[in-house]
Structure 1
């Protein structure tokens, strides 16, 4: 987790992101730091970008004009990538936030990560998996604004994965079990905070993408782990390891 003073560059692919989510996006970014650089890229003569245009001044986002130089070619992508590399080399930044549902930015994300900066991705559920997995953290816009602090709990419930669905997600189950095993203490219990750190260090992950506001509720919903609440936090143990173990 970055500090509250972390400097974050927010770069928006306006052609491939809904303007209606910008307030929730900025609220999410505020958890990690300050979006002191805010840019939105697109051909602003295109009437389809009118919803974005209406939000630019309100949220202090600088529009970057990019004409469609060749039909069928997305010049907006190139402009965003060039600016991102310039920012990477000339600004003292701690992270990037990239808003897009386009897979073309995957190499950019991997390049930024190489310099040790975090990349927070935001996109719709149609976003290709390579971009989702490349980001330090990726959050689907359909789920954004649905945790306990931002939106009504019933909104989370409407997209919540069932226990059966969670168990069938082999990638999720493997990720959780590896993290729990890595964070185990001598008694076989793992501090959930340490589990969360381990997960964030190795994969793009947010419990809200599964319909759960917190990691603890997601872990509990899998029915694969025991949870124990202590004064110094929540501890978790794989039920497979718990068999025959002393409490």
Structure 2
């Protein structure tokens, strides 16, 4: 039987995660991958991990028992890393899911990615920053157990009264078990909430096209490459498109691309500025007149290639005219931009560099 989802290996550091978080972690990772290996590492003879038996049975996870033979040494971490390298060299997987908040797994994550495999990380919000960034995507356990609302207009996450705070995962480590949300964790939550809109805007400016729209998939790709913790699940959304839709600073839309449609976005502020800006309405004062058939051809080209704001790229206009047999030499001008401006019927704006965009002037109208 052919599987659509890529095969992944799930490796869990039991000392760094609550057993209550296993179900939502499995629910999240199985949206993206098929788990062919599920292992958890720890000393299950201790009181901290004694209650894992039912969880392991419920989810078909294979426990790897590691006795603590030395004080201060973590045999579980070593065993997990060794097994991960064995699985990596088997060439049977397309990615790994590593469940831990421990920075000791940073090099493991980078080593797996060096072989071209994907790494999903799961852990607490106070996880080691180096490990978070070493993963392709890092999802906070707190976000899975207590999904936050999307940031409101003031940048703070909306409350979620449906899930009590007591669902936050306790940690088995004595040093952090006193509080489910230590000061560092609270600061991390506040920082990611406040920075979300800024980071999305920065990503948008890097990948936006000439008419101000950006492919949602490219924005997401840029963010994942630079901020692995910016996963939609960390903000209560199932997809990045839904995450953008919930932000009051972006407009999202389905637009034509090639032979189909794709999801695009752009800032609402840019839309508000588009109309009142002086669009460099320039008309060529030249007394030369274009043949009426050529003028009509330009109008048809603009009508066929314009975007939602009625602006058409000069490259698209040129391609349309060429495809329909209208040669520039028939206009009597040396450049298409001069010919369009000479009609006195179009507005022009600068789209960056030598790129120009045209639309029928306000006093005109297109069908």
Q: TM-score, normalised by structure 1?
A: 0.82
Superposition pairs of residues 185-200 of structure 1, within 5 angstroms: 185-200=209-224
- Contact persistence 1:119–1:135 (CA under 8 A): yes
Q: Which is higher, the Rg of structure 1 or of structure 2? A: 2
Q: Is 1:156–1:213's contact at 8 Å kept on the other side of the alignment?
A: no
Measured in 2, the distance between the counterparts of 1:162 and 1:130 equals: 29
- Runs of 4+ with >6 A deviation: none
- Among 179, 204, 208, the residue aligned to 1:184: 208
Which of 1 and 2 has higher RCO (CA within 8 Å, sep 6+)? 1
User: Matches of 2:88 and 2:39 in 1, distance apart?
Assistant: 14
Instruction: Check the 8 A contact 1:161/1:211 in 2, yes or no.
Output: no
Deviation per CA, 1:181-213: give whole Å up to 9, x if none.
Answer: 333233111122332233234431212323444
Q: Is the 8 A contact 2:109 2:134 kept in 1?
A: yes
Q: Which residue of 1 aligns with 2:19?
A: 19
| Aligned pair partner of 2:265 in 228, 236, 246 | 236
Q: Does 2:240 correspond to 1:215?
A: yes
Unaligned runs of 5+ in 1: 147-154
Task: Note closer, same or farther for the CA distance 1:33–1:215 as it changes in structure 2 (3 Å cut).
Answer: closer
Q: What does residue 278 of structure 2 align with?
A: none
> How far off is 1:26 after superposition?
1.4
Query: Match of 1:119, SS?
Result: strand
Distance in 1 (CA, whole Å) between partners of 2:210 and 2:72 is 59
Instruction: Verify the 8 A CA contact 1:121 1:137 in the aligned structure 2.
Output: yes
Q: TM-score, normalised by structure 2?
A: 0.57
Q: Which runs of 5+ in 2 are unaligned?
A: 157-189, 276-308, 310-367
- Alpha-carbon RMSD across the aligned residues, in angstroms, is 2.7
